[in-house]
């Protein structure tokens, strides 16, 4: 059994999270069309998916967040949900449910934050709303 979550911590001016590398293109992580706009994005786009609680029933769809990490910051668009309630099925590409503190980010976000490619995977960051 996997842990599932219905909520995330409150969003503040310094919301702590785990940044996870993710691909939003066809055949990328998740294997499905995205929740916001129902289309894919290039790895060169500054886009993210948020854990279910932060995604807030699509209320953050296509809004921007500022991500701070590695001494830098980047503005990225929310285009998908990292489902914290369900997983391990074909809809979720057989991946387990997402923890409640995740910002899945494209390669472009990792590059903009100046992380070396060999360190891409998972990093502690913080984020806040821009809209």
In a domain, 100, yes or no: yes
Higher pLDDT, residue 30 or 4: 4
Q: Would the pLDDT of 54 be above 70?
A: yes
pLDDT per position as a tens digit, 55-76: 999 999 999 999 999 999 999 9
In a domain, 49, yes or no: yes
**H/E segment holding residue 52:** helix 52-55
pLDDT per position as a tens digit, 63-114: 999 999 999 999 999 999 988 877 666 666 667 788 999 999 999 999 999 9
In a domain, 8, yes or no: no
pLDDT of residue 30: 55
Angle CA 52–72–64, to nearest 5:
40
Range of the domain at 35: 15-129
CATH number for the domain including 33? Answer: 2.40.40.10
Q: Is 72 helix (H, G, I), strand (E, B) or coil?
A: strand
Q: Is the pTM of this model over 0.75?
A: yes
CB-CB contact of 18 with 123 (8 Å): yes
Which whole number is the average pLDDT over 115-121? 89
Identify the CA nearest to 57 among candidates 36, 31, 32, 71: 36
In a domain, 104, yes or no: yes
Helix, strand, coil content of the chain in percent (nearest 5): 10, 30, 55
How many structural domains comprise the chain?
1
Q: Would the pLDDT of 22 be above 80?
A: yes
In a domain, 95, yes or no: yes
Dihedral angle computed from the Cα positions of residues 43, 47, 50 and 56, in that order, rounded to the nearest 10 degrees: -140
In a domain, 30, yes or no: yes
Which sign does the torsion angle of CA 90, 91, 95, 97 carry? negative
In a domain, 9, yes or no: no
């Amino acid at each position: 059994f996997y842990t599932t979550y219905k909520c995330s911590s409150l969003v503040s001016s310094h919301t702590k999270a785990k940044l996870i590398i993710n691909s939003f293109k066809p055949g990328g992580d998740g294997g499905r069309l995205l929740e916001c706009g129902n289309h894919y994005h290039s790895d060169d786009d500054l886009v993210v998916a948020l854990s279910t609680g932060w995604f807030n029933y699509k209320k953050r769809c296509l809004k921007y967040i500022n991500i701070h990490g590695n001494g830098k910051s980047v503005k990225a668009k929310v285009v998908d949900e990292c489902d914290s309630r369900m997983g391990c099925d074909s809809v979720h590409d057989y991946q387990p449910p997402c923890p409640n503190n995740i910002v899945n980010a494209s390669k472009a976000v990792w590059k903009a934050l100046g992380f070396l490619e060999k360190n891409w995977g998972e990093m502690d960051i913080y984020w806040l709303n821009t809209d």
